[in-house]
């Protein structure tokens, strides 16, 4: 038997860090939403008891380091599964980009294997297992739009954000999330207003969403990689309504309401970056269909 799962990328409309915890992680408050740029995960039962990863992307590990492998491994161990599985990853989300590509592959693997192996686990149970694999995996299990707290694993669903385009631009560099958090000086920084962003989404106000975007990790990444700041300023010049770095970067996203303006921002950025995408937010749970 085999089945397919969609693994969409996420962006952080707002990302705040409250403090560094004794366990080394940072306590965060984030507003996350899925966008229409997705990997495809094909899960196939195979002979033996192995987990086999297939990927044609040289930046994606094909062994235990792959987050999809880790998702399958956790389920196999926990539920005593003795059959083999092949996980083929069609990689469309840029790697090490701040778009949670690996986390979404892991989440899709959890959802898919739950069906393939008839485990009958709830989404909440899958999200709890996902948290063992990575901080972004719980959100990716549900998709849609959510407030994420704790180290990212405490999820509260939110309504669909106002309809708009999202132009994504990724410079050629890859960024290590651990490195960015390590360099963050938590005291003495401005904070995005998370409550205001929630209210903006609840009131379906595009203008308030645009005014409310903010990411405290920008200060670290922009200083290390000036090309990210350059892309931000280009996006503003070409007319995006709001511009922000996603996650720990380096991908920058611009929100644009009108089709013609989106085309201008997209075409303008193509001159600077080879990885540019114009996508829709998939703010509701249809994100995973
Ligand atoms: C930057 C974001 O992508 C925003 O959505 C997430 O906060 C990071 O999520 P992630 O990549 O799934 O992170 P993990 O794989 O759990 O952690 C990678 C490393 O980032 C740091 N980390 C991560 C999450 C967090 N709340 N505090 C941290 O300090 C830790 O050093 C950790 O070792
Ligand atoms: N399935 C996967 N897809 C991509 N990278 C993976 C995968 N599994 C493990 N990795 C490793 O994880 C690293 C980070 O990749 P990923 O694309 O998930 O980063 P990211 O988008 O910055 O994640 P996040 O936004 O959650 O911090 C890669 O350099 C790669 O070595």
Q: Quick: pLDDT tens for 44-98.
A: 999 999 999 999 999 999 999 999 999 999 999 999 999 999 999 999 999 999 9
Is the pLDDT at 229 greater than 80, yes or no?
yes
Does the annotation flag 84 for ligand binding? no
What interface predicted TM-score (ipTM) does this complex get?
0.97
Cα–Cα distance between 27 and 152 in angstroms, integer?
8
Span from the CA of 176 to the centroid of ligand 2 (angstroms): 9
Q: What pLDDT shows up at residue 287?
A: 60
Could you tell me what percentage of the chain is helix, strand and coil, using 3-state DSSP and rounding each to the nearest 5? 35, 30, 35
What number does the ligand 1 atom closest to the CA of 139 have? 5
Would you place residue 174 in the very low, low, confident or very high pLDDT band (cuts 50, 70, 90)?
A: confident
pLDDT for the residue numbered 271: 82
CA of 280 to the centre of ligand 2 (A): 22
CA distance 86 to 59: 19
97 C-beta closer than 6 A to ligand 2: yes
Q: Which numbered ligand comes closest to the C-alpha of 97?
A: 2
286 has pLDDT over 70: no
Q: Is the CB of 95 under 6 A from ligand 2?
A: yes
Which of 64, 95, 136, 153 is the best mutation target for the ligand 2 pocket, counting ligand atoms within 8 Å of the beta carbon and taking the most?
A: 95
Share of the chain above pLDDT 90, in %: 93
**Tens of pLDDT along 135-152?**
999 999 999 999 999 999
**What is the atom index within ligand 1 of the atom nearest the CA of 27?**
26
Non-local CB neighbours of 285 within 8 Å, separated by 6+ positions: 142, 143, 144
Non-local CB neighbours of 231 within 8 Å, separated by 6+ positions: 169, 171, 252, 269, 272, 273
Alpha carbon distance 102, 108 (integer Å):
10
Determine the straight-line distance between the first and last CA of the chain, rounded to whole angstroms.
Answer: 19
pLDDT band at 189 (very low <50, low <70, confident <90, very high): confident
- The verdict on whether residue 94 carries a ligand-binding annotation is yes
More confident residue, 273 or 279: 279
Q: Which pLDDT value is given to residue 96? A: 93
CATH classification (class only), 165-287: alpha beta
Q: Is the pLDDT of residue 188 over 80?
A: no
Reading the block at residue 161, the tokens are 């954000």
Q: Evaluate if residue 277 carries a pLDDT over 90.
A: yes
Q: What residue ranges do the domains of the chain occupy?
A: 2-158, 165-287
Contact predicate 170/37, CB 8 Å:
no
**Closest-lying ligand 1 atom to the alpha carbon of residue 177:** 20
Kindly list the catalytic residues: 10, 136
Instruction: Tell me if 103 is assigned to a ligand binding site.
Output: yes
What residue owns the CA closest to ligand 1's atom 1?
A: 247
How many angstroms separate the most distant Cα atoms in the chain?
56
What is the full DSSP assignment across 8-66?
EEEEEEEEEEEEE-TTS-EEEEEEEEEEEEEEEEEEEEESSS-EEEEES-TTS-SSTTS
| pLDDT, the chain, mean | 95
Pocket (CB within 6 angstroms of ligand 1):
12, 15, 24-26, 28, 30, 100, 103, 134-136, 151-152, 177-178, 181, 247-248
Is 96 annotated in a binding site? The answer is yes
Tell me the backbone φ, ψ of residue 208, rounded to 5 degrees. -70, -35
* Domain at 2-158, CATH from 3.30.70.1890, 3.40.630.30, 3.30.230.10, 1.10.760.10: 3.30.230.10
Q: How far, in Å, CA of 153 to CA of 25, rounded?
A: 12
Give the Å distance between the CA of 107 and the centre of ligand 1.
16
Residues 6 or more apart in contact with residue 50 via CB below 8 angstroms: 84, 85
Q: Calculate mean pLDDT across residues 245-258.
A: 97
- Judge whether residue 131 has pLDDT over 80: yes
DSSP 163: P
Question: Does 102 carry a binding-site annotation?
Answer: yes
Buried b vs exposed e over 214-223: b needs ≥16 C-beta within 10 Å?
A: bbbbbbbbbe
């Amino acid at each position: 038997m085999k089945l397919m799962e969609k693994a969409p990328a996420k962006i952080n409309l707002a990302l705040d860090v409250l403090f560094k915890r004794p366990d080394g992680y940072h306590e965060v408050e984030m507003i996350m939403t899925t966008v229409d740029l997705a990997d495809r995960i094909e899960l196939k039962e195979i002979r033996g008891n192995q987990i086999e990863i297939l990927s044609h992307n040289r930046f994606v590990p094909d062994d235990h380091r792959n987050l999809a492998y880790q998702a399958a491994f956790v389920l196999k161990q926990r539920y005593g599964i003795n059959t083999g599985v092949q996980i083929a990853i069609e990689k469309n989300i840029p790697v090490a980009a701040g778009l949670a590509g690996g986390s979404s592959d892991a989440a899709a693997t959890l959802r898919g294997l739950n069906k393939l192996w008839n485990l009958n686990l709830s989404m909440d149970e899958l999200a709890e297992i996902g948290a063992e694999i990575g901080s972004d995996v719980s959100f990716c299990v549900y998709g849609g739009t959510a407030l994420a707290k704790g180290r990212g694993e405490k999820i509260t669903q939110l309504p669909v954000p106002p309809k708009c385009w999202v132009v994504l631009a990724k410079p050629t560099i890859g960024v290590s999330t651990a490195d960015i958090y390590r360099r963050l000086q938590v005291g003495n920084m401005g904070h995005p207003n998370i409550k205001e962003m929630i209210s903006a989404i609840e009131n379906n106000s595009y203008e308030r969403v645009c005014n409310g975007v903010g990411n405290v990790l920008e200060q670290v990444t922009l200083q290390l990689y000036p090309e990210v700041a350059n892309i931000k300023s280009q996006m503003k010049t070409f007319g995006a309504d709001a511009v922000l770095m996603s996650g720990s970067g380096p991908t920058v996203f611009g929100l644009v309401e009108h089709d013609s303006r989106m085309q201008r921002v997209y075409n303008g950025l193509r001159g600077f970056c080879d990885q540019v995408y114009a996508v829709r937010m998939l703010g509701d749970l249809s994100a995973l269909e």
